[in-house]
Amino acid sequence: MKQVKVLGPGCAKCKATYENVLEAIKQTGIEANVIKIEDLEEMMKYNVLTTPVLLIDEQAKVKGRIPSVQEITEFLKA
């Protein structure tokens, strides 16, 4: 099972990233545990400078922009 984390303080970009992650999972049918991290202290553990951040299996895939559903789908399949 994939571990997916979306890091961000709850801004519009962060919410859009989270929604795109859910849609990508739905489209691919891949089993994934999705966690949304909004706590600043928790985010600092990942050395985050810009949000949103998309982590898949603890690897940062996207920082500072909204990834498309298609892009997330590719990350999930890899």
For 48-60, the DSSP string reads -SSS-EEEETTEE
Yes or no: say if 4 and 21 are a contact pair by the CB < 8 Å rule.
yes
Separation of alpha carbons 45 and 34, rounded Å: 18
Q: Which residue bears the tokens 């849609």?
A: 23
Residues noted as catalytic: 11, 14
